[in-house]
Structure 1
Amino acid sequence: MSRLIVLDTETTGLSAENGDRVIELGCVELFNRKLTGNDLHFYFNPERESHEDALKVHGLTTDFLRDKPKFAALANDVVEYLRGAELIIHNAAFDVGFLNKELELAGLPPLREFVAEVTDTLAMAKAVYPGKRNSLDALCDRFGVDRSNRTFHGAKLDAQLLADVYINLTRGQDALLIDVSTNEPTIGAVEAVDLRSFVLPVLMATEHELAAHSDLLGQLDKSSKGQTLFRQIDVQGQNAVA
């Protein structure tokens, strides 16, 4: 199992190619879907002013960053921390583009040459919630992740929030699986159970649940241009009964 590093950056602006720089890097490590505490957090002196709009987002002033190290001075530490990990990033193209530019300026290879994989949680969220708002703030609200202390965007805080969001986004993938990665000893043999002896109750959907289901199918119809798989299966099932 590869290490998961949830990563976020703050920058002086929106374009690395036009000279904007990384001013903060925040990373939190997950192992077996648990925070390990093996985190990484740096501020950098970008040697340039932040754009006004960017400053309103992160609040990191030139005066605050003036005595911080330059990215190149810590670039090798960043590479060694990320080496071999799967990176979890929201809107990954943005952060990867900036980090690759900083690595290039430091004379180091791009991320793809030393990390295992990059997973974009924005793309994941769009696939799960098509047509919905899928910003980090929106996902925190959707999953009940507390962001009450988030006055400004900060790379470390946002990485911590994203870690919680990622666990919620991927929870369904693991819900029915037994965790075989624990080191706890197995006690005794697992006894087979004949499920035929159980009578399972059938709970009918309420009108509210049916309406919510219909609304979701309508959104899927719109995003898939009428190719919703559920409706096709439903129609086939009705034909088979008929």
Structure 2
Amino acid sequence: MREVVLDTETTGFDPQSGDRIVEIGAVELMGHMATGKTYHQYINPERAMPEEAFQVHGLGDEFLRDKPKFAEVGQAFLDFIGDAKLIIHNAAFDIKFLNAELKWMGLPQIPWEQAIDTLEMARKRFPGSPASLDALCRRFNIDNGARTLHGALLDSEILAEVYLELIGGRQPDFGLSTRSGSTSGADGDDWTPRPRATPLKPRITEKEAAAHAEFVAKLGDDALWLKG
């Protein structure tokens, strides 16, 4: 199963008021494992960056001036995400902006049902508790020390780890390649567990072993436990 963990950074809160996307970051998962494939693009918003947005993202007009416009990268972005489920924190915000940009280009919209909202997942799992990305990192003991400013790719990498905790726990050797240098196969099948350094002690008692042997003896010579 292919999933894409996605984040955007914008100049503000409303595309209908002239706000635009300035950065997209995405991380590919296959079978809940990172493949090492990512999408990352800074975008020229074709407008001045408001001071409050600069304070959040650290992306200024001079830096963004020579970056491509969304119209130049929109199709490549759609090609990357394909029909994969999109894992997004506060999905309504990102999908609203992406669909506005895609609509202005005359490209297909992203269906709302394609997105999985981790903010909604967190609120259902931990009702009444803080559900920001930083709060979830603290809850799950995920290192987000590099997150001094909002950055789309870094936030996507962190969100991928949060998402795996929300669905039941991180997979062994998850390690996103862009952060740890490790990679895994596209389907995650190349991971194999290592043998324990010290074998676990038997948990069955002598009394339980004797009772089991007595039970098996009553089953006759065709008992499964007596074969092999």
Equivalent position of 1:164 in the other structure: 161
Equivalent position of 1:20 in the other structure: 19
How far 1:52 moved relative to its partner? 2.0
TM-score for both structures, normalised by structure 2: 0.74
Q: Structure 1 residue 153 and structure 2 residue 147: aligned?
A: no
Equivalent position of 2:75 in the other structure: 76
1:38-87 alpha-carbon deviations (Å, 9 max, x no partner): 11000000011122222111110010000000011011101111111000
How far 1:142 moved relative to its partner? 0.7
Equivalent position of 2:56 in the other structure: 57
Inter-CA distance 50–36: structure 2 relative to 1 (3 Å threshold): same
Q: Structure 1 residue 119 and structure 2 residue 116: aligned?
A: yes
Does the aligned pair in 1 maintain the 2:164–2:170 contact within 8 Å? no
Equivalent position of 1:33 in the other structure: 32
Q: Structure 1 residue 9 and structure 2 residue 8: aligned?
A: yes
What amino acid is aligned across from residue 145 of structure 1 in structure 2? I
Instruction: Give 5+ residue unaligned stretches, structure 2.
Output: 172-187, 192-207, 210-228
CA distance in 2, matches of 1:182, 1:152: 35
Query: 1:79-98 alignment to 2 at 5 Å?
Result: 79-98=78-97
Number of residue pairs matched by the alignment: 181
What amino acid is aligned across from residue 115 of structure 2 in structure 1? V
Equivalent position of 1:144 in the other structure: 141
Q: Secondary structure at the match of 2:68?
A: coil
How far 1:139 moved relative to its partner? 0.4
Inter-CA distance 146–173: structure 2 relative to 1 (3 Å threshold): closer
Q: Secondary structure at the match of 1:133?
A: coil
Equivalent position of 1:128 in the other structure: 125
CA distance in 1, matches of 2:140, 2:102: 34
Moved over 3 A (4+): 181-184
Instruction: Give 5+ residue unaligned stretches, structure 1.
Output: 175-180, 185-196, 199-242
1:131-150 alpha-carbon deviations (Å, 9 max, x no partner): 00000010011111111111
Name the structure where helix makes up a greater proportion of residues: 1
CA distance in 2, matches of 1:134, 1:13: 21
Q: Secondary structure at the match of 1:152?
A: coil
What amino acid is aligned across from residue 61 of structure 2 in structure 1? T
Does the aligned pair in 2 maintain the 1:11–1:50 contact within 8 Å? no
CA RMSD of aligned residues (A): 2.5
